[in-house]
Amino acid sequence: MPRRSVIIDTDPSPDDAVAFLMALASPEELDVLAITTVAGNVPLPLTSKNARKALELAKRTATPVYAGAAAPLVRKLITAEYVHGRTGFDGYDLPEPAMPLAEGFAPEVIVELAMQRSPGEVTLCCLAPLTNIALALSKEPRLASHLREIVIMGGAFSEGGNITPAAEFNIFVDPEAAARVLGCGAPITMIPLDCTHQALTAPARLDKLRACGTPVTEAFYHLLKFNKIFDETKYGWVGGPLHDATVIAYLLAPGLFAGREVHVSVELGSAQTLGMTVVDWWSVLGKPPNVQFLRSVNADGYFDLVIERLARL
């Protein structure tokens, strides 16, 4: 598989960190140009700190972290401490990071890193509200046609929402940004709740992770165990979805996923369904597809890949 250059845009809770650490553990397949942070699960200072904590734990501090947008394009920030804890990384004490943030505003860095490379070289891996990506697209109108792909963890179809009955969190936090990204014309793959809710951190999977016996796997055993208490309590599941790592798993092993090309839009005008991803699965509207929408995943294969990559660190 040809090596991909990737930029990972994230609002780190443990799920996000699993994703970018998987990417850093896969240097034959992925060249991580930068990690860019945005407000989402917790405010920007914490997402930027959590990214650096995870990198220091994994001894991958050569990868720069750039801070981006502290709020959505037009709305007040909504966060999810009720899921992830006060810091976004509750459940295991990691030291305060020593590595500094890299200098530069994340949307501008995304443009610079992508546009200085050949067309079709850079993939954006989006694990968070899409504010940074929308700002980058606005700054450089040629960016969309220059990218290889945008891969998004976000949205929902038949599964319903996880922040409102209709909307998934990443899309709901900044629906205007999501609408701008989905309409940009770049090749887009979307991994929605329909897919991620099939991939639960069951006890046997977390035990297998812990049995690897490294500082990284021990930390993430505890972080994920704490992080999924909310889902276990709310939904009655055994474990919770490991959402964001699906983006990196798709790049490494696309055969684990299945879906199809459809048209997806974002609802902006209704208070009741704000942030809903309207998925035209049957092409009722006859609009050209703008998204590869992945609805299923081989969960056992997915967790085997996650654990194998984290164990390398």
Tell me the average pLDDT of the chain: 98
Task: Report whether pLDDT(1) > 80.
Answer: no
**Mean pLDDT, rounded, for 274-302:** 98
Bridge partners (DSSP) of residue 200 are: 241
Structural domains of the chain, ranges and CATH numbers in brackets: 4-199+242-294 (3.90.245.10)
**Catalytic, out of 84, 146, 197, 243:** 243
- Residues sharing a CB contact under 8 Å with residue 65, sequence separation 6 or more, in sequence order: 34, 35, 36, 37, 48, 51, 52, 55, 99, 101, 102
Q: 84 an active-site residue?
A: no
**Single pTM value for the model:** 0.98
Q: What is the average pLDDT across 180-202?
A: 98
Report the distance separating Cα 14 and Cα 216, nearest Å: 12
Q: What is the pLDDT of residues 256-265, one digit of tens each?
A: 999 999 999 9
pLDDT at 8 over 80: yes
Gyration radius from the chain CA atoms: 18
154-180 per-position pLDDT tens digit: 999 999 999 999 999 999 999 999 999
Q: What is the pLDDT of residues 83-103, one digit of tens each?
A: 999 999 999 999 999 999 999
Half-sphere exposure of 113 (CA within 13 A, CB side): 24
| Structure token digits, residue 262 | 């459809």
Which residue carries 């609002």 as its tokens? 11
* C-alpha 223, offset from chain centre: 17
